[in-house]
Structure 1
Amino acid sequence: MTTEETVEYAPERPARLAWAELAPDVYRAMVRLEAAAKKGLDPRLVELVKIRASQLNNCAFCLDMHSKDALAAGESVERIVQLGAWRESEHFYTERELAALELTEAVTVLAGGTSQAFGTGGGFVPDEVYERAAERFEEAELAHVIAVITVINAWNRFGVTCRMAPGHYRPGAHT
């Protein structure tokens, strides 16, 4: 005997502001910037970086979007699920992906403050993190990885500030 249980979810919070409609030139510029940033990079690496930054920034809209885009690009559910604990599950990722994830965290969080900014620690992004990434990516690739990290952080800030609701995105709909 099967009984169907009705689950009542919390109501979806409405968006605060439809920023893309109200600032269409900015939105279109962001789309172009994103396309330029990821040029030449493995789409799965790009999506892993976007998901990790979005986790750190608590951007539910971008987590929804980039998890779906990663799946559409052939990424495994297991690797997406493990991203939140990638340091404990390094065996799921390549050395390049690990370096990109570590760099993503350093650029996204920008911990350290001004006391380290002029010291020997290398500033906000530690030298050792940057050097690990530089060992695994050619300079042009590294510049693009940094650009992808920077752009997803900007998208996250729009998403979180404007309270964009997750759950409605379909892969291929934003390009």
Structure 2
Amino acid sequence: MWIPQSNPAVYKALVALQRASAEGVTQRLAELIRIRVSQINGCGYCLHMHLSDARSAELEPQAVGMVALWADAPHLFSDRERAALDLAEHVTRLGDSGVPDRVFDRAAALFDDVELGQVMATIVMINAWNRIAISGRYPAGLDERRLR
């Protein structure tokens, strides 16, 4: 199942939602979220894509390399980045208990309502892309954006 070719209308809608979700979120924060969520979900396709995007955006290799252990490397991440990554981990691993109040409240204290909505949308979108890529068996190392 290769959505860009088999379901172009759905793909265009997802891309539009992706663009809208990225508005107002720094590229650094967006890529850190996308990398961490893709790691959690085990999506090699998206992880490869966003590691490449992080290199192109010249994110520090130390931060990219430590994003899986962001809580153990507070000197590499701002308070806002740590709050967003914590939120991303809990939204990705939602489970029956949802997002703990302490995690949501911390993010809400550091982002205004619009920013928090954009961070949440960024988290939701990469989770959606991960599920499409994993379920569709998209291979790591391929980037459909470069096929057009």
Counterpart in 1 of 2:24? 40
Q: CA deviation at 1:20?
A: 2.1
Pairing partner for 1:67 from 51, 63, 81: 51
Q: Which amino acid aligns with 1:102?
A: D
Identity, % of aligned positions: 39
Aligned mates of 2:87, 2:137 — CA distance in 1: 26
Larger helix fraction of residues: 2
Distance 2:147 2:118 in 1: 20
- TM-score w.r.t. structure 1 length? 0.80
TM-superposed CA distance for 1:174, in Å, is: 8.2
Kindly indicate whether residue 71 of structure 2 is the aligned counterpart of residue 97 of structure 1.
Answer: no
Where does residue 141 of structure 1 map in the other structure? Answer: 115
Inter-partner Cα distance in structure 1 for 2:4 and 2:120: 24
- Higher Cα radius of gyration: 1
The match for 2:40 is 56
> Is 1:162–2:130 an aligned residue pair?
no
For residues 109 and 147 of structure 2, what CA distance do their matches in structure 1 show?
Answer: 33
Structure 1, unpaired ranges of 5+: 1-16, 117-123
Distance 1:20 1:169, change over 3 A: closer
Separation (CA, whole Å) in 1 of partners of 2:132 and 2:86:
23
Q: What is the letter of the counterpart of residue 97 of structure 1? A: E
Q: Please tell me the residue identity of whatever aligns with 1:91.
A: H
